[in-house]
Chain A
């Protein structure tokens, strides 16, 4: 049963394959210098197509978190969160810690894990 997210554009496919190689990266426009998250195939700032891959910060701030009970790719309990990456924006990710131990404003750091259907994804854990 194929449960992979099937709406993957070229940039998303590249993002996840870089993640498998341990790289946590997004695109930056060589023409205007704008860094985007999520990664793009076209720069939304200047519409340029000459983009390069650059490292994302591996630490951020937890700005919100919750827990879902009807997840289809993760073991329960499945804690999800929004992490603010300095200078980049908000990243939606899984949080590798019990819900009860989390608070808004907490510093969190990057890691990877494999979902139930074998897809390597990022998650963050309290520092």
Chain B
């Protein structure tokens, strides 16, 4: 079967842009195509997502972009599978390329939400957005006024800390480390260093989660160009294996341990098998942890560490520059920033830059195999991709 490659990546700066999402989308689409050395007219597939969870979102976003950039496509799809959406898109693009139906596909996402402060200052004026956020949850969750998954994550993290005897400092340290990583990223949302004391002394927004241990919602856009081997100019990065796995849950599980997420391990093992690698072969990975406490849990579910052992590994420097594996060199969701629908493409962008040797100060020397993990809902479903550098 044919192989699929990533030929181009692009992202905007992450932050609060107040820019029209269509403009941000057009910017990253053209940058990613230039990076791939392709003309817009050569693009045969176009995939995207809504502009946000609470936005008054437009429909048929891909059709509008195809018109705007002049693309004659054989595949077009607006995908809404929560946080996984653009990973699903990349997965579909790879499969269509492998099948030989198309030779190129552009995947993009542009996220723009109403800023949380604006909402808090005018709850009545934004009540339709709050209702939209509330409607993500089922009747038995929504009835309690839940408008974000924050309380569910708080309870999962509480149980994880309880079951493994993890102190608050070990969770706060993750936020500090990811901020250190982000300081090496010129496009990251946060530019100031963060100390352990700052994290621990700030308010508990939903205990045990401190304010700096929760990712904020940001604006931003990213794009990835997937191609068949023939269209790879140079610096091609291969999508060596990809897999998707879901658990029968919607937000907090009604059965079983609420701090375990079996779909993550299933997706990782299948993707690694398909790629022909072991977890120990991974040099660099971008992991979707929207909360500091979820990072060690995800590292463990992916198989980098045994249950309960990631906090010690993080403390010992094994997940940063010079360690066993470089995890979330971009700064992750907490410090690169989290425009949720664009987040998977930001993760792909970082790993591609690492494998091409273009990550500047954040570069892991000689990085050859990378992993991307994304999730949807309350990690009810996960997608894992394994990328490798084309051999010389």
Binding site for B on A (CB under 8 A): 1, 3, 5-9, 12, 15-16, 37-38, 63-74, 78, 80-82, 89-94, 99, 104, 115, 119, 121
Contacts and interface: CB of A to CB of B under 8 A. Distances in A.
Contacts of B135: 5-7
B142 A90 contact: no
A5 B254 contact: no
Interface string B127-138: 100110011011
B151 A12 contact: no
A3 B205 CA distance: 23
B134 A5 contact: yes
A7 to B, nearest CB: 6
Contacts of A92: 140-141, 144, 252
A89 B207 contact: no
Interface residues of B, number: 40
Contact of B155 (A6, A71, A82): A82
Given A64-B159, A65-B158, A70 B147 contact: yes
Contacts of B130: 72
Contacts of A89: 254-256
A74 B254 contact: no
B126 to A, nearest CB: 11
A72 to B, nearest CB: 4
A71 B139 contact: no
A121 B143 contact: yes
A81 B148 CA distance: 15
Contacts, number: 107
A66 B154 CA distance: 6
Given A5-B142, A72-B130, A67 B207 contact: yes
For the complex of A and B, list the 3 residue pairs with the smallest distance between their C-beta atoms, beginning with the closest.
A73-B145, A64-B155, A12-B139
A47 to B, nearest CB: 14
B68 interface: no
A71 B144 contact: yes
Given A7-B138, A7-B139, A38-B138, A82 B206 contact: no
B40 interface: no
A37 B158 contact: no
Contacts of B255: 89-90
A5 B134 CA distance: 8
B282 to A, nearest CB: 31
Contact of A72 (B134, B156, B162): B134
A80 B151 contact: yes
A82 B259 CA distance: 12
A71 B205 CA distance: 12
B150 interface: yes
Given A73-B144, A82-B155, A68 B258 contact: no
Given A16-B139, A65-B158, A72-B123, 14 more contacts: A12-B138, A15-B139, A64-B156, A64-B158, A66-B155, A66-B158, A67-B206, A68-B151, A70-B148, A73-B143, A74-B144, A89-B254, A90-B254, A115-B144
Contacts of B143: 5, 16, 73, 115, 119, 121
A10 to B, nearest CB: 11
Given A5-B134, A16-B143, A71-B144, A65 B127 contact: no
B377 interface: no
